[in-house]
Amino acid sequence: MKIIEIFDTIIGKIQGISYPFQKFLKEILLVFLFAKGKRNFTNLARWSDYEEKTLRRNYEKRLDLSQFTQVLLENYGQDEKFIACSDASFIPKSGKKTHGLAKFWSGTAQKAEKGLEISVLSLIGLEKGLNLCLSVEQTPADLSGESRLDFYLAQIEQNLPYLKSKINYWVADGFYAKDKMWKKMEIWGLSAITKLRFDAALYEIYEGEQKKRGRKRIKGEKINWKMPLSEAWKPEERTEKGHFVYSRVLYSAGWKRKLKISYVDLGQGKYALLASNDLKISGLEMCRLYSKRFQIEFMFRDTKSYLGLAECQSRKKECLAFHFQMSMLCYNFCRLEHFLHGKKVFSLQNLRNKYFNVFFVEKILMDMGFCPEFIKNMPQYQELIKWGCFDAEICP
């Protein structure tokens, strides 16, 4: 199995992991991938060699996802170029005693609901499609006077030394478009790309005659987005979907800074506004990088649907953190295996079906006294491990 080979290659390079815990991680990594049913303690015990009490005990140990991801990239992803992306995801959770239980925004329900929330910082490949989760943190219910944006930015700051060595741009949706974020990016020396409201208050850069004394005038006339664009907007090429892109440097009075604004004409009177603190970036490049942000949405979808991200049985802070990181770690190994096979289309469902078939066939052969090594080279074996895959071409 390719994932086992990758795990055996990197595990010795990660510090602070004892041999029994290495063995546990290796076992649970595969069980997360091929097990049928939920990824809770009861069901994981059915599919693994560990009892439920052993699973609960090991879940309280610390798992450093960031260190795993960095070692994976050092060994297999050095040639890929990345951008960083941050986003939060709602985790449904019932009960009253669970750590971090509070009301968070649910995109599915389009309202705030009682449950948990995780904040994810991911690295998204620009050329070969290697998308990995660098960090996942549970949002606390009580932030002791700080805002949730402060918590999200603190997660970036924890990984800042590594991020500055790997990326040039950090991308996020419109929630992060706040003055505090722009100030942090300026301090950190990072370029940000985000989305603005359709009625964002932006002004032209004043280029007229200045007063001889007093403060210099910065902003000119306010942009009226309901009116057609003036000739000052620079027309650029179309996006991949055929939308016209215009860009211009404007001034934000609320944030007291100049921003490069990309106006994307979506047709039928609709448009989108993108902003960046990099004044030299083209509007078309902003659109291209921002479109990569949706890979983090696919990460949430796949981990919730196939890797049990929202199925932790425990209420403890340490166990929840371990479960979230293990789901994302398993996702990272799956993406890396797919990346090493050179396939363009990634299907976690296909990969899960393949690993279940491999596990099931080898389990039967070993229990019946046969050696699987003599059968792996047979054509029938290759057909068996692709059984149930809806597209064998994208199944490594």
Helices 348-367 and 19-34, axial angle in degrees (round to 10): 110
Q: What is the structure's pLDDT at 391?
A: 62
Alpha helical stretches, state H, the chain: 2-10, 19-34, 41-47, 52-59, 65-76, 148-158, 160-166, 179-188, 283-291, 295-306, 317-340, 348-367, 379-385
Assessment of whether the complete model's pTM goes beyond 0.85: yes
Q: What is the structure's pLDDT at 88?
A: 96
- Asked if 321 contacts 374 with a C-beta cutoff of 8 angstroms, the reply is no
Architecture of domain 34-193+294-344: 2-Layer Sandwich (3.30)
Rounded to the nearest 5°, which phi and psi values hold at 15? -85, 150
Q: What is the structure's pLDDT at 392?
A: 52
Return the exposure string of 64-101: e unless at least 16 CB atoms fall within 10 Å of the residue's CB, then b: ebbbbbbbbbeebbeebebbbbbbbbbbebeeeebbbb
The residue assigned the tokens 């990824």 is 39
pLDDT along the chain (396 residues), means of 10: 86 90 94 92 93 95 94 89 96 90 92 95 91 96 88 96 93 95 95 95 87 82 89 83 91 94 91 95 94 95 95 94 96 91 83 84 76 70 73 54
- Asked if 138 contacts 117 with a C-beta cutoff of 8 angstroms, the reply is yes
Distance CA 62, CA 16 (A): 10
- Asked if 322 contacts 63 with a C-beta cutoff of 8 angstroms, the reply is yes
Distance CA 380, CA 378 (A): 5
Domain map (residue ranges) of the chain:
34-193+294-344, 194-209+216-291, 349-394
Distance CA 309, CA 345 (A): 22
Q: DSSP readout, 277-304?
A: S-TTS-HHHHHHHHHGGGHHHHHHHHHH
